[in-house]
Amino acid sequence: MTANSVKSPNQSVMPLSARINQQNQLEIGGISATDLVKKFDTPLWIICQETIEQAAAELKEGLANYPAGTSACYAAKAFLCKAMVKLIDKQGFCLDVVSEGELQTALAAGFNPDNIYLHGNNKSDREIALAIEHKIKLVVDNLEDLQKLASHSPAPCQVLLRIIPGIELDTHDHIKTGHDKSKFGIPLCDLDSTIDYIKSQPSIELLGLHAHIGSQAMDLAPFIDVIDVFASLYSGIKQKHGLSLSHLDVGGGLGIAYVESDRPIALVDWARAIAVKVQEAFEQKALALPHLSIEPGRCLVGTAGVTLYQAGRAKHLPDGTNYLSLDGGMADNPRPITYQAIYTARVANRMEPRLDQVKQWSLVGRYCESGDIIVEEVNLDVDPGDIIAIFATGAYNYSMASNYNRTARPACVLVYKGQAEVIVERESVSDLLRQDRIASWL
């Protein structure tokens, strides 16, 4: 089995390097899941480098014919560590960060500050100072961002204004960001006054506008709609303010396949359609074409990730419910309890099941919450001690993980052409205790 090489990476549930070997075991990056578990233990996050490289190549191919310059900016919030910074740098990507931690990770890995954009709706003074120091572009969320810049920056600082475009994405409420009541961005009714403020500040240079309408989008239409909004705004800004904005960031949010029934647009088709639409919309309004940025996060790295667990206790209830407890759960993957996210599960050490042993299971985590359920219903041939693979966990698993129930976070391993190396060390109990202090009066 392969992860269907005719599909775009974001359309495949499994990483592109996924195979079933002659021992009926899952292989990722040329290494069996059983060998990875023997070497690195469970729970374990696996990241497939080949999948990330192919996804990056398709995104760049989709943008290739846009005539005014493009950049693909990886959204660090999806998954970031120093190795990931190096990997996206090799692909020629820029980087979107939203915190000092993400920014310092990028700088520590040697990433060019010229290619970093600082986002966030409540940037700290420290984050703004670092952006000024390293000449990092800011994506401004509110007037206070601009006021902080004006008071801190002695030299021109380049900014994009994040707007609320008034476009609602068909996705979970918690990951909608383009609708009128979003906590992110500048309402369109305040855009003119915000630009007037920028024009009064010599230390601020307005490059263009930015919007992000949400995450896990399957369809192209909302992205096309937001480009029409942008074209009208750029035309209005030129007429009212005499500004020809040089940069346009249409955001991201393209989804991935978590289960076989998910049908996201292919990466190359998504990027190409955006590039074509921007050119058409801006030319129709006789506007100079801006530099075009897109922000792939989940769709670049999500499919690359697999989480490996060991199956533990089995429990069979009188109503026919069968619970199988895993040695991880909501602390390493909070998405099911947060977004009701769904996943695909397989027994990694027995990919083709014994048909007479298959039954319906609910895969549950080890944490003290009734909602700690990784997969609600799945038909598996599984025994205690087997290795369970959960696919498409490259995005928002490591980055949202916690130490709930005082448990240590798993290791993360990068695999590539038969090689496997730890890129984030497994935490220990000593790591958990290191920050503790006992008050002097206790």
Query: What's the confidence (pLDDT) of residue 1?
Result: 39
d(CA 270, CA 55): 12
Q: Containing domain of residue 133, as a range?
A: 49-301
442 lies in a domain? Answer: no
Number of domains in the chain: 2
| 253 plus 350 within the same structural domain | no
If asked whether residues 32 and 56 sit together in one domain, one would say no
Same domain? For 292 and 360 the reply is no
Q: 309 and 182 share a domain?
A: no
Position 79 scores a pLDDT of: 98
| Torsion over CA: 375, 41, 78, 269 (sign) | negative
Residues 361 and 427 in one domain: yes
Q: Which of 188, 198, 189 is nearest to 158 (CA)?
A: 198
225 and 319 inside one domain = no
Residues assigned a catalytic role = 368
pLDDT at position 2: 43
b/e per residue 378-392 (b: at least 16 CB within 10 A): bebbbeeebbbbbbb
Same domain assignment for residues 144 and 283: yes
Question: Is residue 127 located within the same domain as residue 256?
Answer: yes
* Statement to judge: residues 162 and 308 lie in one domain: no
pLDDT of 378 reads: 97
| Together in a domain, 373 and 425 | yes
pTM score: 0.94
Low-confidence ranges of the chain (pLDDT < 70): 1-6, 168-182
The pLDDT value given to residue 420: 98
Q: What is the pLDDT of residue 180?
A: 52
Q: In terms of domains, do 335 and 249 share one?
A: no
Is the same domain home to 239 and 259? yes
